[in-house]
């Protein structure tokens, strides 16, 4: 696994063109207040561990997105970077690369 890379906005935009799954781990009220990042899916940090262990069909039903495989490229974001680093740790602990 890569060592906690930080991405600029432009790098994220470029990655999203390459079919990277972007998971925003902010709380739903933050999305409502500050806005949704285009083409991201919102899975609040408190739900992430459970979400990444769901049955793929259940994941698709809940988040309207194909569940990532353990080798798919995934980017996590939040407001300041603390929760996205935690999200990366959770995903890595579950075997995501």
68, part of any domain: yes
The answer to which of 7-11, 26-30, 54-58, 70-74 has the lowest mean pLDDT is 7-11
Q: Is residue 2 part of a domain?
A: no
Residue span of the structural domain in which 64 resides: 9-94
CATH of residue 68's domain is 3.40.250.10
Q: What is the rounded average pLDDT of the residues 53-58? A: 96
In a domain, 58, yes or no: yes
Q: How many domains does the chain have?
A: 1
pTM greater than the 0.95 cutoff: no
- In the residue annotation, 78 being an active-site residue is answered as yes
- The two structure tokens encoding residue 2: 């890569």
Per-residue pLDDT of 2-45, as tens digits, reads 445 677 777 777 766 777 889 999 999 999 999 998 889 999 99
What dihedral do alpha carbons 26, 30, 7, 81 form, nearest 10°?
-60
Q: CA 97, CA 92: separation in Å to the nearest integer?
A: 6
Determine which one of 43, 48, 74, 78 is catalytic.
Answer: 78
């Amino acid at each position: 696994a890569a060592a906690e890379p930080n991405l600029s906005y432009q790098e994220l935009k470029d990655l999203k063109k390459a079919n990277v799954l972007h998971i925003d781990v902010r709380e739903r009220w933050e999305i409502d207040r500050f806005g949704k990042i285009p083409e991201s899916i919102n899975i609040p940090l408190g739900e992430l561990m459970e979400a990444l262990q769901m049955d793929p069909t259940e994941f698709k039903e809940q988040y309207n997105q194909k569940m990532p495989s353990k080798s798919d490229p995934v980017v996590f974001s939040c407001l300041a970077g603390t929760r996205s680093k935690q999200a990366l740790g959770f995903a890595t602990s579950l075997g995501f690369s």
